[in-house]
Amino acid sequence: EIFRQQVFKFSNVGASLESAGMHLEFVDAPYRCTSEDEEKVYPVVKQAFPECTEYFEWYRANDDSTVYHRLDETIAYLEKVMDERGPFDGMVGFSQGGSL
């Protein structure tokens, strides 16, 4: 949801792409962040998106980012999304989604 708002609310990119005949599909991460992780969300993010009361993640990394949990499940989830909603010409993500 945050990425959708960034594309449409804070820029004219979304409207420009749609006026050119492109359809944008936004996929939310499948896992809700824990309350501990939500406390780590930067205050500027909470201020920019006050309507977002829940935050989601694609995977969970350990403290030193050497082990990623639920990554295989996330890839399977994205494959299912592509099968059900595709075909797609491309994919764009931000934050964790951009690293996939």
pLDDT digits (tens, 9 = 90+) for 39-56: 888 888 888 778 888 889
CB 45 within 8 A of CB 51: no
Is residue 9 included in any domain, yes or no? yes
Is residue 95 included in any domain, yes or no? no
Is residue 99 included in any domain, yes or no? no
Is residue 97 included in any domain, yes or no? no
Q: Tokens standing for 90? A: 């491309």
Using alpha carbons, list the distances in angstroms from residue 28 to 19, 20, 21, 60: 23, 24, 23, 15
Strands (E), the chain: 31-32, 56-57, 60-61, 68-69
Is residue 20 included in any domain, yes or no? yes
Helices H, strands E: what count in the chain? 6, 4
Q: Tokens standing for 58? A: 């694609």
Its pTM stands at 0.72
Specify the number of domains making up the chain.
Answer: 1
**Domain span at 62:** 2-88
Per-residue pLDDT tens digits for 55-91: 899 999 888 989 999 999 999 999 999 999 999 888 8
Is residue 93 included in any domain, yes or no? no
Q: Distance (Å, rounded) from C-alpha 15 to C-alpha 17?
A: 6
